[in-house]
A and B are shown apart, each in its own frame.
Chain A
């Protein structure tokens, strides 16, 4: 657990969040529960539509990319090339994850992914894969590209830049204190299922 100061609208307040730091072991992942707020620190790899389809079709990860006990981040960042050839990340919020639903379960199974960061939640197959293989879905705040880009401390490398274009490439990022919420845990719980069922009932009462 970590206590830290958060600055909001000029006010400073204390909040409590769980730290999730590299290495992302199965034990740490299984300890997380739906509703937990976490701060992620360590290396994450971005991967979105093109990467998921490519891996699903049997494509191999480029050398240097390892997802075993790792985190895949559904994100197409804005990256600016610096004069010295390095990259600066200037916007990096999550993209909608449900598009990866046909592929994610397989990638969790075959590549040993321990956590998926995204937004909007995922479906039954991902939920089942998280439970079976010990993985969680971490919901970032969609649209919060500046708050989250500030958590990217270093852009270590990029893969498939030419092949897929910048937003769809695999970016290797060092992040620190990246805030997210556990919305699918490794025990078969999904906040998305709960909220959908509840809101469906509430709507039925009002029709």
Chain B
């Protein structure tokens, strides 16, 4: 488990790195956008070589576990907490968890709500453990829209969703450490909308949505966002987003939420399958 935390913090997954390199190639030579992308590229290499965090904000610690019936969730939680404590001591994670009332930081990263662990049962005997470290800068530029939104002229249809999602990109500018990736959920309630939007970030960047309408929307928003000239870090340039992933879940008739989670370029997610002894058997990204 410690190795999962370490790799997540110090390595960018291959599918993300590929798109970052494509962004670097696309930027005009000699611009500050290109300079930013070069530093990003160098940073990715250095973090891996030094086995030190890609970004000093090692983020909210979010585990997603798919497990068979009968899987011992309590033991898993204890193991995850121990791994987080150990990873913090070793400097793979910053002392990043603060008591929201007193402001106290006990330096362990373990406390109410940290780490967060989502369990999902499935019929397979396999155990999948995915981990995402999501920094605060990008989390802060996430946005939730309730449609219709008169100001944005966004009605309750996919065109309205498009307007809302592109507004989130405009408002984020470079503040979420762009170029970023959007995870979007259409529908749900205020809590599940954001939850599903984050889970979209578990998809590989080069996959395609099985729903043709959402697939079209993903491609179109990616293209349009990259025409806005926001660019890396908001410096201006051609690479504003690296990817867009959208899902839809049912809603109640009265609500129509579009929830947008923004992930920074320092996209830290990894995953493993565990064997019967609880050891890592394969890496997922």
Which residue numbers of A lie inside 8 Å of B, CB to CB?
A: 6-9, 15, 35, 37, 50, 75-78, 80, 90-93, 95-96, 98-99, 119-121, 139, 141-147, 149-150, 164-168, 179, 181, 183, 191-192, 194-196, 198-200, 202-203, 206-207
Contacts and interface: CB of A to CB of B under 8 A. Distances in A.
Interface in B10-57: 32, 35-36, 38-43, 46-47, 50, 52-57
Given A91-B52, A141-B39, A146 B46 contact: yes
Interface string B137-162: 10010000000000001000000000
23 contacts: A76-B56, A91-B91, A95-B57, A96-B136, A120-B137, A120-B173, A121-B234, A139-B235, A143-B40, A143-B54, A143-B264, A144-B55, A147-B46, A165-B105, A166-B107, A168-B105, A181-B36, A191-B235, A195-B173, A198-B229, A199-B230, A203-B170, A203-B228
A110 to B, nearest CB: 23
Contacts of B53: 78, 90-91, 145-146
Contacts of B247: none
B48 to A, nearest CB: 9
A93 B40 CA distance: 11
Given A90-B91, A145-B47, A203-B228, A76 B57 contact: yes
Looking at chain B, what size class is its interface with the partner chain?
Answer: 35 or more
Interface of B: 32, 35-36, 38-43, 46-47, 50, 52-58, 91, 94-96, 98, 103-105, 107, 135-137, 140, 153, 163, 166, 170, 173-177, 224, 227-231, 233-236, 264-266
A149 B52 contact: yes
Contacts of B174: 119-121, 142, 192, 195
Contact of A96 (B103, B137, B228, B229): B137
Contacts of A7: 42
Contact of A91 (B35, B41, B94): B94
B229 to A, nearest CB: 5
Contact of B56 (A145, A183, A196): A145
Contacts of B177: 119-120, 142-143
B234 A120 contact: yes
B105 A144 contact: no
A65 to B, nearest CB: 20
